[in-house]
């Protein structure tokens, strides 16, 4: 799933109703960049306009030419997904559609590093909402976990689901408390297994062509990580820093922050279930141990 080299600033034809323009913002967390999807022909929806980069904004406007942007859809308010929405709305006259961000929980560190705190939608979406145009229909699927406001968009005509960062073909998804929740993530994965989507289009990386199998494997991987953490704490009292070296040996140091947040998400869930204990409320500075 790593062999992916999208052109920057150009529309790629994906299917009869789907096109993609990739933003030139590759990184350890965005892979080759943010994939902005164009839905429909003539009157179109734009999913995840990406970062506020003039080159990407201009590419969307230029490549669409005389076509009209009628909806701007945002899966969640991370800085590689949502900041480009407002400039695109100003240029096109389209409204921005997303889940409510008003009750979001965040730490100062998260707000600085990843959350787009300035983002707000013009239209607040809810689970199971429907968005229609003359040649496409989109269903709103609330999938909390990566963030509490994360939603996926289902293109009914092609049984395609645009998964944002909920599932990605190139990497596991970062779950970062306090707004990210591992239990919510598990619940959302289980819900997705009840759907009949034929293909997933994540915002980063290649399409996922066997969705049900992929979701099952993702859930199994997360549950196995729970077991690794439980096993590491057998007869031991460890901090998250200790656990990183055990659970993620030889990890690139540039990814330690992501590993630290993900382990915390697992620990919060396991403490809530009564499988583990911590000295005080679970936090990055807590010591964790097996329940006696």
Q: Convert the pLDDT of each residue in 186-221 to its tens digit.
A: 999 999 999 999 999 999 999 999 999 999 999 999
3-state secondary structure of 243: helix
Residue 109 has pLDDT above 80, yes or no: no
Number of Cβ atoms within 10 Å of the Cβ of 225: 18
CATH number of the domain that residue 139 is part of: 3.60.15.10
**Which of 237, 246, 241 is CA-nearest to residue 291?**
237
175 and 46, same domain (yes or no): yes
CATH number of the domain that residue 281 is part of: 1.10.10.10
275 lies in a domain?
yes
What is the average per-residue pLDDT within 225-246?
96
Give how far Cα 122 sits from Cα of 15, 54, 98, 125, Å: 29, 22, 8, 10
247 and 183, same domain (yes or no): no
Given a contact cutoff of 8 angstroms between Cβ atoms, the answer to whether 139 and 154 are in contact is yes
219 lies in a domain?
no
Distance of CA 87 to the CA centre of its chain: 21
Rounded distance between C-alpha atoms, residue 239 and residue 247, angstroms: 12
Q: 251: pLDDT confidence band, cut at 50, 70 and 90?
A: confident
Residue 111 has what pLDDT? 45
What average pLDDT does the chain have? 94
Distance of CA 102 to the CA centre of its chain: 18
Q: Convert the pLDDT of each residue in 121-175 to its tens digit.
A: 999 999 999 999 999 999 999 999 999 999 999 999 999 999 999 999 888 899 9
225 lies in a domain?
no
Is the model more confident about 106 or about 115?
115
227 lies in a domain?
no
Residue 5 has what pLDDT? 83
Q: 253: pLDDT confidence band, cut at 50, 70 and 90?
A: confident
118 and 36, same domain (yes or no): yes
26 and 59, same domain (yes or no): yes
Residue 29 has what pLDDT? 83
Residue 255 has what pLDDT? 84
Given a contact cutoff of 8 angstroms between Cβ atoms, the answer to whether 9 and 55 are in contact is yes
DSSP string, 54-118: HHHHHHHHHHHTT-EEEEEE-S--BTTTSTTHHHHHHHH-PEEEEE--TT----HHHHHHTB-TT
98 and 184, same domain (yes or no): yes
What is the average per-residue pLDDT within 39-55?
97
Residue 95 has what pLDDT? 98
243 and 139, same domain (yes or no): no
259 and 143, same domain (yes or no): no
127 and 247, same domain (yes or no): no
64 lies in a domain?
yes
Overall pTM > 0.85? yes
168 and 270, same domain (yes or no): no
Indicate the number of domains in the chain.
2
Residue 224 has pLDDT above 50, yes or no: yes
Rounded distance between C-alpha atoms, residue 227 and residue 230, angstroms: 5
Q: 105: pLDDT confidence band, cut at 50, 70 and 90?
A: confident
Distance of CA 268 to the CA centre of its chain: 20
Given a contact cutoff of 8 angstroms between Cβ atoms, the answer to whether 75 and 164 are in contact is yes
Domain hosting residue 275, numbered range: 233-290
Percent over 70 (pLDDT), the chain: 97
132 and 186, same domain (yes or no): yes
Rounded distance between C-alpha atoms, residue 280 and residue 189, angstroms: 30
Residue 112 has what pLDDT? 43
What is the average per-residue pLDDT within 26-33?
88
142 and 255, same domain (yes or no): no
Q: Which helix (H) or strand (E) holds 123?
A: strand 123-125
Rounded distance between C-alpha atoms, residue 160 and residue 158, angstroms: 5
Given a contact cutoff of 8 angstroms between Cβ atoms, the answer to whether 44 and 73 are in contact is no
282 and 167, same domain (yes or no): no
Residue 186, phi-psi category: left (phi > 0), alpha (psi -120 to 50), beta (remainder): alpha
Per the listing, tokens 């590993």 go with 259
223 lies in a domain?
no
Residue 108 has pLDDT above 60, yes or no: no
């Amino acid at each position: 799933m790593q062999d992916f080299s999208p052109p920057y600033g150009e529309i790629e034809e994906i299917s009869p109703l789907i096109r993609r323009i990739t933003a030139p913002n590759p990184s350890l967390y965005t892979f080759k960049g943010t994939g902005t999807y164009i839905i429909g022909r003539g009157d179109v929806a734009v999913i995840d306009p990406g970062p506020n980069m003039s080159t990407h904004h201009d590419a969307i406007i230029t490549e669409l030419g005389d076509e009209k942007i009628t909806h701007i859809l945002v899966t969640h308010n991370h800085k590689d997904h949502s900041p480009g929405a407002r400039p695109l709305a100003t240029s096109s006259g389209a409204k921005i559609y997303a889940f409510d961000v008003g009750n979001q929980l965040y730490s100062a560190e998260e707000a600085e590093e990843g959350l787009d705190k300035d983002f707000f939608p013009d239209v607040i979406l809810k689970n199971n909402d429907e968005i229609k145009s003359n040649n496409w229909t989109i269903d709103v699927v609330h999938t909390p976990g990566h963030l509490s406001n994360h939603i996926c968009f289902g293109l009914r005509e092609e049984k395609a689901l645009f998964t944002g960062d909920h599932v990605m073909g190139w990497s596991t998804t970062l779950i970062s408390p306090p707004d990210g929740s591992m239990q919510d993530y598990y619940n959302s994965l289980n819900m997705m297994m009840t759907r009949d989507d034929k293909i997933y289009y994540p915002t980063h990386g290649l399409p996922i062509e066997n969705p049900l199998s992929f979701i099952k494997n993702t859930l199994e991987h997360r549950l196995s990580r729970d077991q690794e953490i439980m096993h590491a704490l057998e007869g031991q009292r460890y901090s998250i820093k200790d656990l990183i070296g055990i659970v993620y040996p030889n990890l690139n140091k540039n990814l330690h922050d992501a590993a630290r947040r993900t382990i915390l998400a697992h620990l919060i869930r396991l403490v809530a279930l009564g499988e583990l204990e911590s000295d005080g409320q679970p936090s990055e500075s807590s010591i964790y141990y097996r329940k006696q």
